[in-house]
Chain A
Amino acid sequence: MSDLSDGLTRYLRDEFGKEFTVSGVVGVSAGARRRNVLLDATFEGETLELVATIVPAVVQQVPVSSEAGVRELARSNGVPVPRVRGVCSESSYVGSPFMISERIAGETVPRKVLRLVQAQGSGDLVARQLGAAMGRLHGIDPAMAPPDLPGDPESEPAVVMLEQMREGVATLLADRPVFQRTLSWLTERMPGPPARRCLVHSDIRNGNIIVGEDGLRAVLDWEGTTRFGDPMRDVGWTALRMWRFGLDDREFGGFAGRNVFVLAYEESGGTFDFERFQWWKVLGTLWWGVGLAAQAKSYLDGSVRDIVMAAGGRRIPEIEWDLLMLTKP
């Protein structure tokens, strides 16, 4: 980690003109995607507890400056997000562009989050906080977001996503009749353009949040945010069964049922649309199935020789079960 420490020290000096001492550098997640590194930066007796998110160019969906920009936009509108303390688009410091954020204590591992929530009796609280955070996010004018985030005010989000899913199923799951049946179900129920377009985070769920004894502390992982989307895409995604980790009767993240979430969402300015929510919930489930098939393919074609990728293929029947339960005749 010494090269990393040196690079971060140089960045902090160049960016802030201060000789910070960097210590406690430790990676907390590493993979084919992004890398999160904890660090403490000390200057004149004051220590800042920080997280550096390093984004290799090969997995960068949007420039780090745009991701940082939308995070700060959300934070300024009352969505709990770790404050961004620095953005570096150059690769000269740590080998890739990166962001530095304040570090927020709490649990992020889903089963640990649920154990904490059960111990605190705070499931309803967290669901309300998630609903309120999403309501505030969806109330932001998407034209205010950094322009290089994806999203088109003229296109129909449901049409675009369904077409992507058709291609994914044709390529990876053509021999699985449940996916074919689900594509037909979705096609017959196309929701049309949303009445109000919004910023869509696209991955708010148990697993992308920080939770403490006092409830929700932060929403993480904003790299997939799109502009001019359908708000029910976010709401449906949060309600998928795979984010409940066994607490299936609590639709939203294993925290609480739908009514708790929706009440807080609407009190914060959101408008819940049941038909549209159901459509996006089915689409999101199918999307995850295509993702699992892609994981298995990446193992089989040798691009990611990780047993976790191989195992993804054996999870597809779970998705098929969820799809069948969501689309009962």
Chain B
Amino acid sequence: MVPFIPTAAELAGALAELLGDLQSELPSSSVHRARVGANIARILQRELTLPTVSPAEDPSWENLVEAVRTELAVVKPGYDSWTGE
């Protein structure tokens, strides 16, 4: 199948930009939800772009760390830079 243009990831990015731009025009009671919506759209953009990884068969601490790192790359890039408590 020939990919749509724009791709789903590109449209998710466009949606994130739209929701970001609208925040200054929204009543204060709606800004937080718009920000969350923009964040979700960015997550979708990454999810549609980054390769998926199969769950670890051996749930050792090291394997779990790697599996969670892969998910964080989608939902919260950089969160794994803090390795303290």
Contacts and interface: CB of A to CB of B under 8 A. Distances in A.
B83 interface: yes
Which 3 pairs between the two chains have the least Cβ-Cβ distance?
Answer: A317-B71, A248-B82, A177-B59
Contacts of A180: 59
A111 to B, nearest CB: 12
Interface residues of A, number: 27
A280 B84 CA distance: 17
Interface in A274-327: 281, 306-308, 310-311, 314-315, 317-318, 320-321, 324-327
B75 A326 contact: no
B59 A317 contact: no
A324 B64 contact: yes
A314 B75 contact: yes
B20 to A, nearest CB: 15
A321 B72 contact: yes
A308 B85 contact: no
A317 B68 contact: yes
A329 to B, nearest CB: 5
Given A178-B64, A181-B59, A308-B33, A318 B84 contact: no
Contacts of A315: 75-76
A321 B80 contact: yes
Interface in A33-60: none
Interface of B: 29, 32-33, 36-37, 39-40, 43, 55-56, 59, 61, 64-65, 68-69, 71-72, 75-76, 79-80, 82-85
Given A307-B36, A308-B32, A321-B68, A326 B85 contact: yes
A307 B85 contact: no
Nearest to A313: B75
A107 B17 CA distance: 29
Contact of A320 (B33, B39, B68, B83): B68
A159 to B, nearest CB: 24
A324 B75 contact: no
Contacts of B40: 307, 310-311, 314
Contact of B84 (A248, A314, A324): A248
A324 B61 contact: yes
Contacts of A148: none
Contacts of B82: 241, 248, 325
B61 A307 contact: no
Nearest to B37: A307
Interface of A: 30, 177-178, 180-181, 241, 248-249, 251, 281, 306-308, 310-311, 314-315, 317-318, 320-321, 324-329
A286 to B, nearest CB: 14
19 contacts: A30-B29, A178-B64, A180-B59, A249-B84, A251-B85, A306-B33, A307-B40, A310-B40, A311-B36, A311-B39, A314-B40, A317-B72, A318-B79, A321-B79, A324-B61, A325-B82, A325-B84, A328-B61, A329-B61
Given A308-B33, A308-B36, A318 B85 contact: no
A325 B61 contact: no
A155 B61 CA distance: 33
Nearest to A177: B59
Nearest to A320: B68
Given A248-B82, A306-B33, A311-B40, A324 B65 contact: yes
Contacts of B79: 317-318, 321
Contacts of A324: 61, 64-65, 68
Contact of B76 (A178, A317, A327, A329): A317
A307 B75 contact: no
Task: Identify the interface centre among B33, B84, B85: most chain A CB within 10 Å of its CB.
Answer: B85
